[in-house]
Amino acid sequence: MKAIQVRAYGGPEVLSYTEVSAPSPGPGQILVALKAIGVNPVDVYLHTGTYTRKIPLPYVPGSDAAGVVEAAGAGAAFQPGERVYVNGAVGGVYAEKAVVETRRAFALPAALSFEQGAAIGVPFATAHRALFHSGRAVRGETVLIHGASGGVGVAAVQLARAAGLEVVGTAGGPDGVAFLKTLGVSRALDHRAPDYLDGLSPDLIIEMLANQNLAEDLRIAAFRGRIVIVGSRGPLTLDPRATMTKDLTVRGMSLFNMTDPERAALHADLAQGFASGALKPAVGQKFPLADAAKAHAAVMASGARGKIVLLP
Ligand code: NAP
């Protein structure tokens, strides 16, 4: 089968579109014929070889995808022909097929396309965990989603609105602000504009770029506010005193730390949101699988309006 393979750590040039042998499922596993693959920033960090986690070479990248079960190993919870979305595969998912543990596969709701299914795994689980597990969001509170236009941000907006929070979102430029308004946020702000946070006092901040924003988040957070760091791309200097004067909580969150029972409960909750229509994964740019390097350049650039997907 065709796949993207990483044979050396480095930039986008290490993503080779090549022939690899098709995997077969063992006990408790399924083989999924993939129809759409989600591209996440972490896929890019991993092939640099300098991220906090390192995958041994050679490897097929990617964790998020959707497709149809082609074969099921003994004891697997899905049957051939079922539509599934997956978050994590035994190898990667930048391929025509992938073997997936049952605990990492979930029924794809009939109302969702395969492309939407590829947009669920990392973005929706991250947004859910940041809001409710780490952020302890409570109905009626105000949440600032600092970086609401990307994969995680769009999911966070939908989840927060469905949970009865007042949602303030940020995006880059007027088109980003216009995009956020289509998501139904109470206020849409341009994170490229000067003083765009003035006047806010959010109870909870979901932060996608902490190295740039954390000092300002501490300044504007409400008394006893919580800040959940989801994304950060470097160090920063700040005055910790701001956390003391308002009894603030700053929590880091990594999806890699989620346990199996937490994952199962989280995806069961997402299923209810998909069924009610409150949650609708937004698909942005689409690339053929062979153009994974172009998709990686796009996911690291500003201006993603929904999830970037690869089509095998
Ligand atoms: P994405 O789709 O590429 O979106 C990036 C978001 O960051 C966009 O909304 C972008 O807005 C926004 N942004 C750009 N400049 C910003 C600024 N100055 N202040 C606030 N936001 C800004 O990426 P994603 O998949 O949503 O992931 C977002 C971040 O979370 C990434 O750094 C990713 O690595 C990280 N992440 C962490 C976990 C975890 O487990 N902790 C899981 C998933 C993702 P515009 O493009 O409109 O400017």
Residue 253 Cβ contacting ligand 1 at under 6 Å: yes
pLDDT category at 304 given cuts 50, 70, 90 is confident
Decide if pLDDT at 30 tops 90.
yes
Residue 117 Cβ contacting ligand 1 at under 6 Å: no
Q: How far away, in angstroms, is 68 Cα from ligand 1 center?
A: 29
Which ligand 1 atom lies nearest to the CA of residue 147?
21
Q: How far away, in angstroms, is 67 Cα from ligand 1 center?
A: 26
Residue 46 Cβ contacting ligand 1 at under 6 Å: no
Mutation choice for ligand 1 from 63, 87, 152, CB with most ligand atoms inside 8 A: 152
List the structure tokens of 48.
């640099």
Across 175-190, average pLDDT: 97
CATH for 123-255? 3.40.50.720
Q: How far away, in angstroms, is 152 Cα from ligand 1 center?
A: 7
Which ligand 1 atom lies nearest to the CA of residue 299?
3
Q: Provide the percentage of residues in the chain whose pLDDT is more than 70.
A: 100
Decide if pLDDT at 29 tops 90.
yes
**What are the boundaries of each domain within the chain?**
2-120+281-311, 123-255
Mutation choice for ligand 1 from 48, 208, 228, 266, CB with most ligand atoms inside 8 A: 208
195-226 pLDDT, tens digit per residue, is 999 999 999 999 999 999 999 999 999 999 99
* Model pLDDT, residue 52: 87
The whole-chain average pLDDT of the chain stands at: 97
Which ligand 1 atom lies nearest to the CA of residue 148?
9
Decide if pLDDT at 25 tops 90.
yes
List the structure tokens of 184.
């139904």
Is residue 48 within 8 A of residue 55, CB to CB? The reply is no
83-109 pLDDT, tens digit per residue, is 999 999 999 999 999 999 999 999 999
* Model pLDDT, residue 303: 86
Which ligand 1 atom lies nearest to the CA of residue 232?
32
Q: Which CATH superfamily is domain 2-120+281-311 in?
A: Medium-chain alcohol dehydrogenases, catalytic domain (3.90.180.10)
Atom 5 of ligand 1: nearest residue by CA position: 150
102-159 pLDDT, tens digit per residue, is 999 999 999 999 999 999 999 999 999 999 999 999 999 999 999 999 999 999 999 9
Q: How far away, in angstroms, is 300 Cα from ligand 1 center?
A: 9
* Model pLDDT, residue 307: 93
pTM above 0.95, yes or no: yes
Atom 21 of ligand 1: nearest residue by CA position: 147
Q: Tell me the sheet residues that pair with 34.
A: 67
* Model pLDDT, residue 306: 85
Across 18-24, average pLDDT: 96
